[in-house]
Amino acid sequence: MPHENIKHIVLVLSGKGGVGKSSITTQLALSLSLRGHTIGVLDIDLTGPSIPRFFGIEEAKVRQAPGGWIPVSVHDEQVLSPLPLPLSSQKPAGEAKNEEQRIGALSCMSLGFILANRNDAVIWRGPKKTAMVKQFLTDVLWPPLDYLLIDTPPGTSDEHISLLENLHLQTSSPSAPRNQLAGAVVVTTPQAISISDVKKELNFCKKTGIRVLGVVENMAGFVCPNCKECTNVFSKGGGEVMAREFEVPFLGSVPIDPQFVELVEEGTRPVYPEGTIIAGKDVGGEVGVEDEKRKEGLLVDKYRSCSLWPLFDGIVGGLDEDIRSRDV
């Protein structure tokens, strides 16, 4: 059986589309990697794979080796130099994060790497999708991983059924590491419409025996870059109420950050206007990088300048502890 070298598998699920499953998967992967873990990301959204775009590796193609596919590497294990200090140096130097950082390797697998043309529609019926998901789960030659994150399409249909059938089969074999199938992170947005779909997903987890690691509420609030007023574009608080109702942990609310969108879309290092406060922390002020150099560097390095990183660092810290506490 393959995958004995993967310590934990975490699914990212949501009943609703467009709530940010791929975006959350990306940020969980980057934050875990920044904590020094070795990470793999598997994208099983077959008709709309977005993971290649999020990691900025759309042009990459998957390579074939005897015995399987080799996933595409986003970055190798390495040491990142400290974050540049603000040019004006108003902020006290030597904050906890301002030191060299060892990061773990990150690699990805997606159907997007296999398609010949990125605009072509993948028009597959159920059995073909089922076979592809199975192949993704058995035939990818992952390096030894601390975490494999699996990004899923919306819904509770073919992809999900075959994913769980195969995972249950693999992780229940005696050679699999203990607690390998750690559980699922469920993503929602705050509106009632989204919540009602996501409740179905929570019931799906219950029926299929997947532990819910927690609920993340995405797109909760938008901070106007002009007046710093926070607007709840898609209302707020729905995720937390739902988590309480289903007695699952609530991992946190993630605001909309246009700078993160820009980081993904254009690869620019995030910069915030003076005095921007997100999650009670002042993230404003210029970063010590000139404008023309903002596009340089690895995605994971630039992500350290994003206001969402401290938030996700907290989330993955909690997840990591929770998952590891169940290993024994």
Partner 1 sequence: MAPSLEEPTQVDLDAPLKEKPSLVAPEPEHCPGPESQQAGTAESCTGCPNQKICASAPKGPDPDIPLITSRLSSVRHKILVLSGKGGVGKSTFSTMLAHAFSSNPSHTVGLMDTDICGPSIPKMMGVENETIHVTAAGWEPVWVSDNLGVMSVQFMLPGRDDAVIWRGAKKNGLIKRFLKDVCWGEMDVLVVDTPPGTSDEHLSVNALLKEAGVDGAVVVSTPQEVALLDVRKELDFCKKAGIRVLGIVENMSGFVCPGCRHESKIFRASTGGARRLAEEMGIRFLGAVPLDPRIGMACDYGESFLEAYPESPACVAIQEVVRAVGEELGLERGEVFGE
Known binding positions: 15-22, 224, 227
Q: Which is nearer to partner 1, 87 or 193 (CB)?
A: 193
| Contact assessment for residue 223 and residue 186, using Cβ atoms and an 8 Å cutoff | no
Whose Cβ is closer to partner 1: residue 125's or residue 328's?
Answer: 125
- Minimum separation from the CB atom of position 145 to partner 1 (A): 19
Using CA atoms, how far apart are residues 41 and 133, in angstroms rounded to an integer?
Answer: 14
**Which burial class, exposed, middle or buried, applies to 112 when counting CB atoms under 10 A from its CB (0-12, 13-18, 19+)?**
buried
Nearer to partner 1, 165 or 322 (CB): 165
Report helix angle 192-208 to 238-245, nearest 10: 30
Q: Residues within the annotated binding site for ATP?
A: 15-22
Annotated binding-site residue numbers for [4Fe-4S] cluster: 224, 227
Q: Measured from the CB atom, is 100 or 292 closer to partner 1? A: 292
Nearer to partner 1, 41 or 319 (CB): 41
* Tokens (6 digits) for 158: 């073919």
Would you state the structure tokens that stand for residue 21, as one six-digit string?
Answer: 């499953």
E strand intervals along the chain? 6-13, 39-43, 63-65, 68-70, 72-75, 78-80, 101-103, 106-110, 145-151, 181-188, 212-217, 222-223, 230-231, 250-253, 277-278, 281-282
Q: How far is the CB of 95 from partner 1 (least distance, A)?
A: 29
Shortest separation between residue 323's beta carbon and partner 1, angstroms: 24
DSSP three-state, residue 272: strand
Which CB atom, from 69 or from 147, has the smaller least distance to partner 1? 69
Shortest Cβ 42–partner 1 spacing (Å):
14
**What whole-number distance in Å separates Cα of residue 235 and Cα of residue 219?**
9
Instruction: Between 83 and 137, name the residue whose CB sits nearer to partner 1.
Output: 137
Count of residues making up the chain: 328
* In the complex, minimum distance from the CB of residue 280 to partner 1, in angstroms, rounded to a whole number: 20
Least separation in angstroms between CB 45 and partner 1: 8
Q: Tokens standing for 171?
A: 């992780």
In the complex, the smallest distance separating the C-beta of residue 132 from partner 1, rounded to whole angstroms, is 8
- The long-range contacts involving 261-267, CB below 8 angstroms and separated by at least 24 positions, are 263/299, 263/302, 263/303, 263/306, 264/23, 264/26, 264/53, 264/54, 264/56, 266/295, 267/56, 267/295, 267/299, 267/302
- What value does the CA radius of gyration of the chain take, rounded to a whole number of Å? 20
Q: Which residue has the tokens 């990088």?
A: 289
